[in-house]
Amino acid sequence: IHQEAILHKKVKIGAYSVIGKSVEVGEGTEIGNHVNITGYTKIGKSNKIFHSSSIGEQPQDMKYKNQETYLEIGDRNTIREFCTINTGTVEGNKKTKIGNDNWIMAYVHIAHDCIVKNNIVIANSATLAGHVEVDDHVVLGGLTAIHQFCKIGQHSITMGGTLLSQDVPPYVRAVSRGGMAFPNGINSEGLKRRGFTSKAISDIKNGYKIIYMRNNSI
């Protein structure tokens, strides 16, 4: 642990982990064994980071020249084994940002300048390229791969193995066909679990039909 790192007295750190100079970790956060936290990284309260993750490392961007860029992680996130989360770039917004109450499973990669908001589930081995934005209550299936600059709307869901090269509107269920993503209805089960009324879900379904099933132009 670098002597200039700022750690709350109630932070727990496992064996062989390394905490860098410009790292700040909030109250109640638990860090497992063999975790590397570096860069200008700020981690909030009550997070749990499992073994062998790399948090706050330099972005995998060939334009990066050791500039001061940031990673900010909120509160109550779970980050499982072997995840990699990078800082931002000066060409982006200089910051990668993870919100609150997210469940990030093993081997997930979150690249530079991504914005991952709140209450999101990212399943095993999903990959977010640079500048991706993921809105609240999204579920990304395992092995989902998202192209840079894509935006994923709130309450949407992707099937495992989905390759996304375009934005996903809110509420939509995206599935993979022949290596490409296609809309496949709405995330009605997820909406029910989050308390959406039958009327609201019906209205969303009607909106989906107007956009995707009437052969209208954009």
Among residues 86, 91, 90, 89, the alpha carbon closest in space to that of 58 is found at: 86
112 tagged catalytic: yes
Type of residue numbered 198: S
190 tagged catalytic: no
C-alpha to C-alpha distance for 158 and 57, rounded to whole angstroms: 27
Q: Which residue's structure tokens are 């981690």?
A: 43
**Which position among 32, 39, 99, 113 bears the catalytic label?**
113
**Which position among 130, 141, 142, 190 bears the catalytic label?**
130
C-alpha to C-alpha distance for 86 and 131, rounded to whole angstroms: 11
135 tagged catalytic: no
Q: Which residue's structure tokens are 């706050």?
A: 56
Dihedral (Cα; 170, 173, 177, 181), 10-degree rounding:
10
Query: Which residues does 42 contact at the CB level (< 8 Å), separation at least 6?
Result: 23, 24, 70, 71, 72, 73
**Which position among 109, 112, 131, 155 bears the catalytic label?**
112
- List active site positions: 112-113, 130
